[in-house]
Structure formats: structure tokens, C-alpha cells
Amino acid sequence: MRITGIKTLVVNAEMRNWVFVKVLTDQDGLYGWGEASLNWKTRAVVGAVEDIEPLLIGRDPRDIEQCLRVMNKHSYYRLGIIGATAISGIEHALWDIFGKSVGLPVWRLLGGKVRDKVRVYTHLGLGDMRSVYETFDKGALREKALAVVENGYDALKVVFIPYSHFTADIPSRRHVAILMETLRDAVGDGVEIMVDFHGRPASISAALQFIDELVPYRPMFCEEPVQPGDADAMRIVAERSSCPIATGERLVGIKEFEPLFMSKGAHIVQPDLNHTGGLLEGKRIAAAAEAAFMGVAPHNPNGPLAGVAALHFDVSTPNFVIQEEMSGAVPWYDAVVQTPLHREGSYWSVPTAPGFGVEIDENAAARHPFKPEVIHTLAAVLGDGTIVDW
């Protein structure tokens, strides 16, 4: 079996673009699908896939480890998030091919089943990205949170830490406490709440001040309280916080996670299997996290194929905690992609179809061509004009 080509298919899902990757083989009807979506970097990722394609033509797609070595080592320059996202999408497709070729779901090939269902959570707005990033009013927060719970979820994530700098002023801290109190009162103690800081505090002290406001309302975890890449800063936050701390969505590969493991800089790590190098790299990260007494809650605000890849990972990963998902983000979600993402309450069921068990209607996908995405970062400016982290 040999790889004969790699194609990309861009589908605009209103607030973001999905980048699907199709790896073709010389076996009739045997191909694989993956996803390489990256917000605001669509054309760059598509170009990276095109650049990588010649490295894999003629290779056996089932030799996944070897294909990864080729893509990483023969690119010469170390790959950042764009290259790693392109590789992740291609690697997903290789697993899909492998599973189809042997008639087994991908989770079987990743080590087999370690759980009977996969717990998931979603965001405010059930896929509407404006609701995710622009809900700072307590009335709207309550309404949108109740809508999530009414849809069967028992866990949700919010992003209402204000655009910050090196200090956290008293009105901002009080408003965060009011929002969290409103949220907890609305959903009760039976619903887990995760608060995504989005790396907005520019100092450890500001992050801790906001965390102190949240702790009385028992969040499941506080995510990315400071900008990624400084394991010592994360360690200080984790040590001083009485709330579990999560991070990792912007780290690429196990090398960038290693300082976090060594410093015990978090309680939960969040590799994005769509960005960090694929499923094999994700399994390495998960194994190292388990050795460091950390759980894994994969990041995934991406499209349906990224969700399916995460599902297979979650089924086979012992220290998995909970999965972020964005299914139903657009009304025509199921018209373009057929997936095994079947949710009952706040759990996905375990898929049984060979490979990833997905299929894409390329004609339906063509009705939603690339469009420039909404740039949320334009709002991340303080009153004096200072540009801060989104």
C-alpha cells in the first residue's frame, strides 16, 4: 500500500474555517480523513500540507511512526504551530487508513478501550463563538448556561476573565465573582464549571487574585491562568491555588510539555490533538502526564473530524478526565460530515466502525467555501490603548 496524494478541503463554519485533510492511496476506495483546522491560519496550514505532501508520496500510510519522522525531520527547520497542525491532520488520516485496512476502530490500534463512555463538555452558545468570548453580562450568562444544561450537558466552560494587564483592579475582580456566583446559582452543584483565563493576566499575582474570586464557587479547573511557555510561573500558580489548574492547548509536542511535567506546573494538561502533532504525540504526552500525577483533558474547539480523533484518543487513554467539544456549531453540521459522535447526556458513546468511522460529502462541503474568520482579538485593548492578550 502506498500514498498517492494528499488533498485539503476547507469548509467555512461561519465563525471559523475547518481544514480537512484527505490522504489517498493506491488501493481502490481506501483513503483517510483528518483535520488540521487552526484559527486565523487557514491558508498557511493548507500551504504547509502542500509543502509536506512530496515527503510522503510512495510511502506506506500504515508506517505512521516513520511518516511522522519524515515530516518532522525532513522539514529541516523546527516546525511551529502551523507545521504541527498540518502534520496532525495528515497523521489523523493515516490512522483512519490503518483502521479501515484492518477493519478496526482507531482506538483499538491505540491500545484498546479503557472506558465505556467519554465525558464531554461544551461552551456557552453551543458552538456560537461570539457567545463564548463576548458574554460578560450576568443575565446573558445565566440564560446561555441554562441552555447548555437543558441540552443535557453536566459540564460547561466559560471565558469571562476580563482583558487584563499586570494588576487586577477591584471592580474587575468583583465582577468576576458576581458572574461566577450567578453561574453557580443558575446551574447548581451538579454541573461542573471550567473557567478559561485565556492567558489574559500578565502577572502571577493578577492570575491568583482572579482565582481567589472563583474558588468559593468550586470550579472544576481554571485554565491557562498565565501565558503558556513559562513552567515556573505555572508552578507558582498551581502551588498557591486551591483550585485545580489546567493548561497546554498552545504547547506543541512533548518537548514543550516536559518543563511543565518536571515542575509539577499544573494538575491537568490539555494537548490539542489537532495542533500538537497528532495522536501518537498525544499518547506520549498523556503517558508523561500520568507519570507526573496529572490528568488529561484534550483541548478541542475545532471541527467534527478533530472531535472524532479526540474521541478515539479518549477511549484509549487511562488518565483522561473530560473532553471539550463543539458539535452542532452550525445548523448543517451533520449534512457535511457523518461521524460516530453520538452523545447521551454529557457522554459520547464508544464508536465501533473501522478507522475513524467518518465520511465527508464533498459536494455539500463545497457549498461552504473559505471565508476570512472573525478576528476576536480586536477587542483585547484596554481603555488607554494598551494591547493585551486576548
361: helix, strand or coil: coil
Q: Give the Cα separation of 244 and 267 in Å (integer).
A: 6
pLDDT of residue 77: 87
Topology annotation, domain 108-356: TIM Barrel (3.20.20)
Of 209, 213, 281, 294, nearest in space to 251 by CA: 281
* Strand-pair partners of 269: 247, 296
Q: Show the cell assigned to 217.
A: 464557587
pLDDT of residue 330: 86
pLDDT of residue 118: 98
86: helix, strand or coil: helix
Q: Do domains 3-104 and 108-356 have the same CATH topology?
A: no
Topology annotation, domain 3-104: Enolase-like; domain 1 (3.30.390)
DSSP 315: H
Q: In angstroms, what is the C-alpha Rg of the chain? A: 20
Q: Give the Cα separation of 114 and 128 in Å (integer).
A: 32
20: helix, strand or coil: strand
Q: Which helix (H) or strand (E) is 186 found in, with range?
A: helix 170-187
pLDDT, average across residues 14-35: 96
Q: Show the cell assigned to 177.
A: 465573582
The domains of the chain are located at 3-104, 108-356
C-alpha dist (Å) from residue 98 to 2, 75, 281, 315, 357? 12, 24, 17, 18, 12
3-state helix, strand, coil in the chain (%, to 5): 40, 15, 40
User: What's the half-sphere exposure (Cβ side, CA atoms, 13 Å) at 287?
Assistant: 11
pLDDT of residue 239: 97
Of 203, 242, 240, nearest in space to 225 by CA: 203
Amino acid at 389: D
User: What's the half-sphere exposure (Cβ side, CA atoms, 13 Å) at 196?
Assistant: 19
Q: Which residue has the cell 474568520?
A: 373
Q: Give the Cα separation of 379 and 57 in Å (integer).
A: 44
Supply the mean pLDDT for the chain. Answer: 95
The Cα angle at residue 252 between residues 250 and 254, in degrees rounded to 5: 125
Q: Give the Cα separation of 241 and 158 in Å (integer).
A: 19
Q: Show the cell assigned to 267.
A: 494538575
pLDDT digits (tens, 9 = 90+) for 304-343: 999 999 999 999 999 999 999 988 788 888 889 999 999 9
pLDDT digits (tens, 9 = 90+) for 108-124: 999 999 999 999 999 98
pTM of the model: 0.96
95 CB contacts (<8 Å, ≥6 apart)? 32, 34, 64, 106, 109, 279, 309, 312, 355, 356
pLDDT digits (tens, 9 = 90+) for 208-249: 999 999 999 999 999 999 999 899 999 999 999 999 999 999
Q: Give the Cα separation of 226 and 236 in Å (integer).
A: 11
Q: Give the Cα separation of 189 and 18 in Å (integer).
A: 35
Q: Give the Cα separation of 111 and 114 in Å (integer).
A: 9
Identify the band that residue 125 occupies on the pLDDT scale cut at 50, 70 and 90. Answer: confident
pLDDT, average across residues 184-212: 97
Higher pLDDT, 279 or 15: 279
Where in the sequence numbering do the catalytic residues fall?
A: 198, 299
Max CA separation in the chain (angstroms): 65
Of 245, 250, 251, 257, nearest in space to 195 by CA: 245
pLDDT of residue 32: 98
**Cβ contact 74:59 at 8 Å:** no
pLDDT digits (tens, 9 = 90+) for 35-90: 999 999 999 999 999 999 999 999 999 999 999 999 999 988 888 999 999 999 99
Cα-Cα end-to-end distance for the chain: 45
